[in-house]
Amino acid sequence: MSLFDPADGAFLADPYPAFALLRALAPVHDHPLLGTPVAVSHAACSALLRGRDLGRIWADAEPAAEFGAFNLLHRNSLLEREGEPHHRLRGLVAGAFNRGHTARLEPWVRGLAGRLVDDLAAGVAADGRADLIAGLAATLPVEVIAELLGVAGPEREALRGWSNTIVAMYEPGVDDGRRAAAERASAEFVDALRGLAEHRRRHPGEDLVSDLVAAGVDSDELVGTAALLLMAGHEATVNVIGNGVLALLRHPVQWSVLATAPLAPAVEELIRYDPPLQLFERTAVVDTVVAGHPVPAGTRIAALLGAAARDPQVFERPDELDVTRIHNPHLGFGLGVHYCLGAPLARLEVAAALDALRTRMRGLTLAAEPQRRPSFVMRGLRTLPVTT
């Protein structure tokens, strides 16, 4: 049978019917276009993410000589390590987070979300419509992560471009032009992060980079970890806000329920309903089996989080958006040793954005069809025109 084509526009517009067909057939499928088998059931994806026989094993982008900065950023990132180095780095980053950075940022995040939504409302008042991606979804997370890490000045402006250009490399079948652009962006990013780390070494502040420097993280690891936080920490959050608001506007009853409903379950439901990160890979470190599918040592296998999110074995009425859903063990933040370290901060940001929208732009509706980014792994919108 033919599996989905990750570059097909119709599939990207709504991949969930294809995922349902696959799930009904088997928990794991070979996928020649992606070049790996894909796990599609919730149980198979969970087993894959938790599996001790599988890990995130970084393979340098080739030719390695042309991707020096891109490979340096990733090879040293905690997300791409396993075993002792991962445990040590994760402990340092988690320790820094636990020193209260999320709580420190909370009033600031809420204030910023309110100001951005006021500006969005002013845009609608002036022009009849405004773009919620540019005005809120893409702005809030990058500002928050820059604040968390203490990135200021021109680097703060450049962050979004670097991050967007680098994460394009995670898509299947990326062309040479984009690969070269990702390397150029990585090189600029590495320079900026080294400068930041050096500055914080001499002038420590309240930010997370200062905490990591004080904890003795070495220079390459600091660059890799700061880059991971900047990219992981904002790309997914942008897309949860964009995908989530679109889902709410396409389900006006749910939007009206949210006027008074608690925000925490709604945030989880938006992440489940249309996950911003659709696929993660692991490599087998020894011969192993995932949901009956043999995975020989050294080969890769992918977890399709988007398919797991709609598994009827786990979720009641999985294709329905229900902002009051209580039983919601989605895998949107991953599972196991790589479980998202930024989940509390991401939840705070999405809740702050929704709260500002429901109180300041109650009559929010779609002004036109949104444009989708032509990417599969990072699922999100380019524009979301709204009005009131």
What are the structure tokens assigned to 283, written together? 């490599």
Least distance from ligand HEM to the Cβ atom of residue 102, Å: 9
As a residue count, the chain comes to 388
- Rule CB under 6 A: choose which of 170, 273, 280, 315 binds ligand HEM: 280
- Least gap, CB of 321 to ligand HEM (angstroms): 17
Which run of H or E residues covers position 382? Answer: strand 381-383
- Nearer residue to ligand HEM within complex by CB, 204 or 344: 344
Q: Choose between 137 and 236: whose C-beta lies nearer to ligand HEM.
A: 236
Q: Does 242 bind ligand HEM (CB under 6 A)?
A: no
Q: Identify the H or E element spanning 72.
A: helix 68-75
179 within 8 A of 202, measured Cβ to Cβ: no
Q: How many CA atoms lie within 13 A of 7 on its CB side?
A: 7
User: Cα separation of 343 and 360, whole Å?
Assistant: 26
CB of 348 to ligand HEM, least distance (A): 9
Q: Give the count of residues interacting with ligand HEM (CB under 6 A).
A: 26
Q: How would DSSP label each residue in 269-324?
A: HHHHHS-SB-EEEEEESSSEEETTEEE-TT-EEEEEHHHHTT-TTTSSSTTS--TT
Q: Which is nearer to ligand HEM, 186 or 225 (CB)?
A: 225
Using alpha carbons, select from 284, 333, 224, 225 the residue that is nearest to residue 55.
284
DSSP secondary structure string for all residues of 119-130: HHHHHHHHHS-E
Which residue's CB comes closest to ligand HEM? 342
CB of 53 to ligand HEM, least distance (A): 15
Q: List the one residue from 236, 284, 314, 364 that touches ligand HEM (CB under 6 A).
A: 236
| 3-class DSSP state of 19 | helix
Considering the complex, what minimum distance in angstroms separates the CB of residue 343 from ligand HEM? 7
* Nearest-angstrom CA–CA distance, 173 and 203: 43
Binds ligand HEM by CB under 6 A, chosen from 78, 182, 245, 270: 78
Q: Which of 72, 213, 222, 277 binds ligand HEM (CB under 6 A)?
A: 277
Nearer to ligand HEM, 123 or 224 (CB): 224
In this complex, which beta carbon is closest to ligand HEM, that of residue 277 or of residue 314?
Answer: 277
125-184 residues in contact with ligand HEM (CB under 6 A) are 145
Task: Write each residue from 319 to 348 as x if it is in contact with ligand HEM (CB under 6 A), else as -, in one continuous string.
Answer: -------------xxx---x-xxx--xx--
DSSP structural state of residue 373:
P
Stretch that binds ligand HEM, among 2-10, 160-168, 234-242, 363-371 (CB under 6 A): 234-242
CA-angle at 379, arms to 285 and 103, nearest 5°: 85
Binding status of residue 90 toward ligand HEM by CB under 6 A: yes
The correct pick among 146, 167, 185, 229 for binding ligand HEM (CB under 6 A) is: 229
The half-sphere exposure of 364 on its side-chain side, counting CA atoms within 13 A, is 34
In 3-state terms, what secondary structure has residue 73? helix
Residues at the site binding ligand HEM, with contacts judged by CB under 6 A: 49, 56, 78-79, 90, 145, 228-229, 232-233, 236-237, 240, 271, 276-277, 280, 332-334, 338, 340-342, 345-346
